[in-house]
Structure 1
Amino acid sequence: MRPEILFQLFSPVSKLKGIGPRLTALIEKLAGPNIIDLAWHLPTGLVIRHQISELTPEFVDRNVVVALHIDHHLPSRNRRAPYKIQCEVGVQSLTLTFFNGRENYLRQQLPEGSDRLVSGKLEEYGGTYQITHPDYITTREMAADIPLSEQVYPLTAGLTNQTFIKAARQFLPMLPDLPEWQDASLLSREGWTGWRESLLAAHAPTEEADFSRDAPARARLAYDELLANQLALELIRRSMKRKPGRSLIGNGKIREKILRALPFSLTGAQNSALSEIEADMAGAHRMLRLLQGDVGSGKTVVALLAMATAVEAGAQATIMAPTEILAHQHFNAIEPLATEAGLSCLLITGRLKGKKRTETLEALASGAVDLVVGTHALFQEDVKFHDLGLAIIDEQHRFGVHQRLALSAKGRDGKGGVDVLVMTATPIPRTLALTAYGDMDVSIIAEKPPGRKPVDTRAIDLERLDAVADGLGRKLAAGERIYWVCPLVEESQVLDVAAAEERFAHLKTLYGDQVGLIHGRLKAEEKDATMRRFMSGEISILVATTVIEVGVDVPEATVMIIEHAERFGLAQLHQLRGRVGRGGLEGTCLLLYAPPLGETQKARLAILRETEDGFRIAEEDLRLRGAGEILGTRQSGLPEFRIADLHDHSRLLAIARDDARLVLEKDEKLGSARGKALKTLLYLFERDSAIRYLSG
């Protein structure tokens, strides 16, 4: 139950005076439905008004407060023409301009022959001074009603700044004095005030410095939000860790056979990740670990060796991929090595039907199968394991937490006592990993296998597209293969397809049947069939929208051409580039761009040319685009932060992570005075779902 002290903050915005149904709908869309959402909707600018008695060029384009005499109205007879009111400031002329002005209202507010005080931005237009749509109109006696500085809120069509200012005047006095949940020494070190004082200060900026993310009031609120996030994740993590697992300890015999069959030695980073995974598997509690590795860093081998340990310990192991192509690829990589080591390995996808499916499922349920590679088909109810000990999920951001739990529930007791290893080839900045995957332990493979050559990356003006297309013949003659990625067109899959089809038609005139096409509107079977033709060499140029899956491995692919590269995110460009140069041949990535480029677009293309370090690229992507863009907020379950910024507040996030762990080590049930205050913090930032883990 939410504490009573927070009830008022969680009442609807419609409870505020002057917020009727129309404004409620607009505010809900912009900020949220409750008064607390308005509290988190902080101002982003400040209007400073200058009191002036005469009109001079130095005040043009500034906000001014000026006393004037209203001379005469010039109503517009044409709806497109503005309504004008001629005024005098001393001996000077000033025009007040209103678009779509209502005559009755304006004559009432600004009667001819009267004196008024108005404020607004002073402009010079056609040699005369004017103010368009003054923000305040009052009498000289009411001069105090015009504030000389005023906060500016983020708005949407139909909402005015005055609406938010009036709302703030009502809800800010409602803010309760909440018990302090922050450590006193941290508050002192950072120079932070209490929660209420900080929120009041954030809504009442007096200078530009107050809008900095490092400004004490905003930093304090950002830290509150990050601490709520980390505390919630740590509660979930501890609850998972408390659940009994099983100790999977191998004798190393199967592992040794696989290592001997490998044509290479493991890198130091692979060995280190494997040690962390095996230590978790050997423990008494369930493993929940994220294995991060850049494109081509060798995660699959680490996964196979972890699966071998599970089999040595008498259990079965499975690896699940998000698409059939990736499942087939994993199977083709794993099966020969598994056979060499004396293990049986099966593939289960949606295509498995009839008698073959029945036989496969019987073998799985009887324990005759050691390793299973599959797709979502593994979730189906009739897929039963004899004794599942380890489940590996590839490209976790494609699967929800519920699917992860559904797979782990396939264990022998049906209670989910299965060790879970999640893999991703999307390099995730540390700050993002802490917030999106904070309920997991993390292993990183940060080095590439020896012998992998860097990809030659170049940015080329789109005007040279025809020359690029004409020059592919040499690569084809050498038996190399080429990806040609077409741009995403904003919000329109139809236009995406049109762009891809147009490029396909053009390349087909040059290279005939050597060209294939994949786009998002094709059925999965059609995509798979074309992809297989490309992998087998039946076609040598694959034109595609970005449906080229992460992880698809075609060793002969050496050229990646990306049209309108400026429209893609950095992480996406890096992923695409990682598709080439994987078979020992040197890869080339051509980024075709349409000038002129904006500063962010230039920075994006420059960093790609400078480095192939996926983690550095991901950090830069976070800085340039923000968190939701990298993982795709909807798929990743990434929390949306209202005040905190993962790039600018990364220092605070690290402190919050440590603080959350320390608090729960000392006060597991949050029963102390600070613990109870921290429960209020969880409710305040709507992390209520984590509270139930306190009793678990």
Structure 2
Amino acid sequence: MSSRPEILFPLFAELETLDGVGPKTAQTFQQMGVERPRDLLFTLPYSGIDRRRRDTIQGAEVPAVVTVEVTVGAHHPPKTRGRPYRVHVQDAKADFQLVFFHARADYLQKLLPPGQRRLVSGKLEIFDGIAQMVHPDHVVRVEEAESIPDFEPVYPLTAGITQKAIMKAAAGALKRVPDIAEWIDPGVKKREGWPDWSEAVRAAHSPTNAADLSPEAADRMRIAYDEFFAHQLTLALARAATRRKPGIPSVGTGALQKRVLGALPYKPTSAQDRAIAEITEDMGSDHRMNRLLQGDVGAGKTLVAFMSLLVAVEAGGQGVMMAPTEILARQHLDSLKPLAEDAGVVLELLTGRDKGAERRAKLAALQRGDIQILVGTHAVFQDDVTFHDLRLAIIDEQHRFGVRQRLQLGAKGQAVDVLVMTATPIPRSLALAQYGDMDVSVLDEKPAGRQPIKTALVSTGRMEEVVDHLRKAIADGRQCYWVCPLVEESEAVDLTAAEARFKHLRAALGEGTVGLVHGQMPPAEKDAAMARFVAGETSVLVATTVIEVGVDVPNASIMVIERAEYFGLAQLHQLRGRVGRGTAASTCLLMFQSPLSQGAERRLTTLRDSEDGFRIAEEDLAMRGAGDVIGTAQSGLPRFRVADLERQAGLMAMAQKDARNLLGSDPKLSTERGQAARVLLWLMEQDKAIRLLSVG
């Protein structure tokens, strides 16, 4: 079924086929993302106006919208230009004025003939002690009262589209709603008390009170669920397609792992043990692994990653671990090297810097299988890099690598297992939306011996106290990060630039003790400054957020974040995680400029009160919304029209389960419910899923 089902044709016709929509209106609708009648169905009213009839305006809490039957009195045309036209009217108990600007007298005489009764509805206000309604929304004959709804839906608009126009267009689209076979699991539908799709759509467009507009209303829940379900079906199909590709079972002997665990000074946490077991089982099966390893800052992902690489080596193959930047790749090398020595395996680094003979030698060793584990940047993608027998690819910091690169990497080996690591705790609903095609392992415990980090809020007025505190700490041999929000002084924004702060601290603490790293430096200079700090030659590193991800200096135990109110929660949590990696007690100082906005205060206090990255991520999501939390531009997050990722996380989890169950029992979607699900995929424009189905 690779073409759209006929039952949906009317919903995918041109907008101009709807009554009252001409070419110009159609173009304006496009700015709202409305291109076809189908899009109107999913553009739901966001509020409503109560237009129930009252006997009189008396007792109305003005300003308010009132609907009342009146007797039309005298007309008062303006004496001078630019003044309004007034019409006196009287209801059962009170009189008031209808006010019109730029109005034509003959039109108003026809609309409101003196002595006759009319039903008027509009916003009533008091002006100079006189009750008046400026430009009523509705003026109709008493016998046409039906044309004013008791509760009028209000739609989101764009410039050039009126409420009247969108209501008319939506009504036209609703006339085309077909009765479609049900795709939701009957048990789920019954348990939730949801209506049929066509009924839900019609009801969502004709709310009868404010409760009908809530995301919890049954009609809206049902439509939101359909969006999530279509999205999760697409991910489940992608997952099934990955799993259908035969993998090479990599069964470890456990010998190398045993040597590493024996040499460790601590015992892995139970979360680490669980993740290692899940990965080992996936690698041993005959389908490809596609797993996400999600761990909070400092939860010990490196050990889990290394154990997984050892499974590949024990099975006679090779593993590769990739990082988004050279700094991080070198750091992985430094943290994995001692483990590799314990295990007695050959570990090498490949980055864009390897040139000439040295590079050729590494590539030859890789091809012979002499290098068992390779650490690198995306340089490992280049065509001349070939492995002897690549079994496992680990990708660090997922959002820098797209799905396309994941696939490219898969092509390097025959059916490579893929493990993606992210240090950003992702709220469950987002993890399901973004990585729903993957299986997920979560590290939610801190390894033994990790020191808690004390977090404090300090206003920028106390800058000199902070510098004094640093002076003492440096004398005790401790190291500190000082993070600044911007690189160059910009007049418009009162932000202390990294350059200026660097000079200030150097003057206060002495030459040679302070280093500087920012995004506009040449990479070699940046690496050199980092290396001096890692080696302990400098005690303070002034930096922009280039240090956010993965930098590991166990001796650094103080983190100062200047103008912390400018950073997002997740970013602050990542930055704080750069300290507390050694044995010393660590502190994080959040410096802010008062007064703080309500949102900024909530962010900083959340961070002060919690070290749990997952709790912080949920809070972040609640405050900022899904698109911002992972940056919509590069997130690959689906755009839902009705569903709300923040508030309806439970629905997303339900949809994932339902989608996986359906495909489990009907992988080709050929049963009656499967066929209905295909119609849903077309309705929700899940082209990728449809392609996967036609290929599969």
Same-fold call, TM > 0.5? yes
Match of 2:575 in 1: 576
Partner AA of 1:120 in structure 2? G
**Contact 1:257–1:340 under 8 Å retained in 2:** yes
- Of 311-320 and 591-600, deviating more is 591-600
- Alignment coverage as a number of residue pairs: 680
CA distance in 2, matches of 1:155, 1:194: 28
Q: 1:433 aligns with which of 417, 431, 434?
A: 431
CA distance in 2, matches of 1:594, 1:96: 50
Q: Say yes or no: does 1:96 pair with 2:99.
A: yes
CA distance in 1, matches of 2:440, 2:48: 43
Q: Say yes or no: does 1:457 pair with 2:455.
A: yes
Q: Say yes or no: does 1:261 pair with 2:263.
A: yes
Show CA shifts across 1:394-448 (max 9, x none).
111211001011111101x4xxx11111111111222222221111111111111
**1:8-27 → structure 2 map (5 Å cutoff):** 8-27=10-29
Offset at residue 687 of structure 1 (A): 1.5
Offset at residue 532 of structure 1 (A): 3.1
Change (3 A) 1:247 1:464: same
CA distance in 2, matches of 1:214, 1:132: 35
Match of 1:49 in 2: 51
Show CA shifts across 1:381-401 (max 9, x none).
111112111110011121100
Match of 2:299 in 1: 297
Change (3 A) 1:55 1:661: closer
Match of 1:166 in 2: 168
CA distance in 1, matches of 2:34, 2:486: 31
CA distance in 1, matches of 2:546, 2:592: 20
Q: Say yes or no: does 1:639 pair with 2:641.
A: no
**1:457-496 → structure 2 map (5 Å cutoff):** 457-465=455-463, 467-487=465-485
Change (3 A) 1:464 1:73: farther
Change (3 A) 1:48 1:519: farther
Show CA shifts across 1:146-199 (max 9, x none).
434201112334433223212112111111111111222322222111001001
Match of 1:673 in 2: 672
Q: 1:220 aligns with which of 216, 219, 222?
A: 222
CA distance in 2, matches of 1:454, 1:228: 43
Partner AA of 1:9 in structure 2? L
CA distance in 2, matches of 1:502, 1:159: 50
Offset at residue 297 of structure 1 (A): 0.9
CA distance in 2, matches of 1:308, 1:294: 23
**Contact 2:485–2:496 under 8 Å retained in 1:** no
CA distance in 1, matches of 2:658, 2:276: 29
Partner AA of 2:475 in structure 1? A
Offset at residue 86 of structure 1 (A): 3.2
**Contact 1:461–1:593 under 8 Å retained in 2:** yes
Partner AA of 2:122 in structure 1? G
Show CA shifts across 1:14-44 (max 9, x none).
4434444554344323233222222111111
CA distance in 1, matches of 2:348, 2:537: 27
**Contact 1:278–1:306 under 8 Å retained in 2:** yes
Q: Say yes or no: does 1:179 pair with 2:181.
A: yes
**Contact 2:452–2:586 under 8 Å retained in 1:** yes
Partner AA of 1:660 in structure 2? A
**1:410-559 → structure 2 map (5 Å cutoff):** 410-411=412-413, 413=414, 417-465=415-463, 467-487=465-485, 499-511=497-509, 513=511, 514-559=513-558
Partner AA of 1:588 in structure 2? T
Q: Secondary structure at the match of 2:51?
A: strand
CA distance in 2, matches of 1:340, 1:678: 53
Match of 1:684 in 2: 683
Offset at residue 592 of structure 1 (A): 3.0
Unaligned runs of 5+ in 2: none
* TM-score computed with the length of structure 1 as normaliser: 0.90
Q: Say yes or no: does 1:324 pair with 2:326.
A: yes
Q: Secondary structure at the match of 2:692?
A: helix
Show CA shifts across 1:458-505 (max 9, x none).
23344444543454322232232333333479xx99969874445445
Offset at residue 229 of structure 1 (A): 1.6
CA distance in 1, matches of 2:135, 2:514: 60
**1:610-649 → structure 2 map (5 Å cutoff):** 610-649=609-648
Q: 2:283 aligns with which of 265, 281, 284?
A: 281
CA distance in 2, matches of 1:581, 1:45: 49
CA distance in 2, matches of 1:380, 1:478: 47
Q: Secondary structure at the match of 1:246?
A: coil
CA distance in 2, matches of 1:350, 1:7: 52
TM-align CA RMSD: 2.8
CA distance in 2, matches of 1:190, 1:23: 39
Partner AA of 1:532 in structure 2? A
* TM-score computed with the length of structure 2 as normaliser: 0.90
CA distance in 1, matches of 2:407, 2:607: 37
Show CA shifts across 1:101-134 (max 9, x none).
xx3x555653599557653322234444344554
Change (3 A) 1:368 1:45: same
CA distance in 2, matches of 1:324, 1:111: 79
**Contact 1:307–1:390 under 8 Å retained in 2:** yes
Change (3 A) 1:169 1:465: farther
CA distance in 2, matches of 1:244, 1:125: 77
Match of 1:377 in 2: 379
Offset at residue 519 of structure 1 (A): 3.9
Partner AA of 1:449 in structure 2? P
**Contact 1:97–1:133 under 8 Å retained in 2:** yes
Change (3 A) 1:33 1:338: same
CA distance in 2, matches of 1:144, 1:569: 51
Partner AA of 1:73 in structure 2? P
CA distance in 1, matches of 2:652, 2:236: 13
**1:587-626 → structure 2 map (5 Å cutoff):** 587-626=586-625
**Contact 2:548–2:571 under 8 Å retained in 1:** no
Show CA shifts across 1:210-267 (max 9, x none).
1222211011111111211222111111111111111111222222222233332222
Q: Secondary structure at the match of 1:59?
A: coil
**Contact 1:45–1:152 under 8 Å retained in 2:** yes
CA distance in 2, matches of 1:2, 1:526: 56
Change (3 A) 1:72 1:146: farther
- Of 180-189 and 392-401, deviating more is 180-189
Match of 1:84 in 2: 84
Match of 1:73 in 2: 78
Q: 1:233 aligns with which of 235, 243, 256?
A: 235
Offset at residue 347 of structure 1 (A): 0.9
Change (3 A) 1:633 1:73: same
**Contact 2:324–2:397 under 8 Å retained in 1:** yes
Percent identical pairs in the alignment equals 51
Partner AA of 1:422 in structure 2? V
Q: 2:351 aligns with which of 338, 349, 352?
A: 349
**Contact 1:326–1:551 under 8 Å retained in 2:** yes
Change (3 A) 1:586 1:203: same
CA distance in 2, matches of 1:496, 1:342: 54
Q: Secondary structure at the match of 2:152?
A: strand
Partner AA of 1:72 in structure 2? P
**Contact 1:31–1:41 under 8 Å retained in 2:** no
Unaligned runs of 5+ in 1: 78-82
Change (3 A) 1:464 1:56: farther
CA distance in 2, matches of 1:463, 1:97: 56
Offset at residue 543 of structure 1 (A): 3.3
Change (3 A) 1:544 1:49: farther
Change (3 A) 1:556 1:95: farther
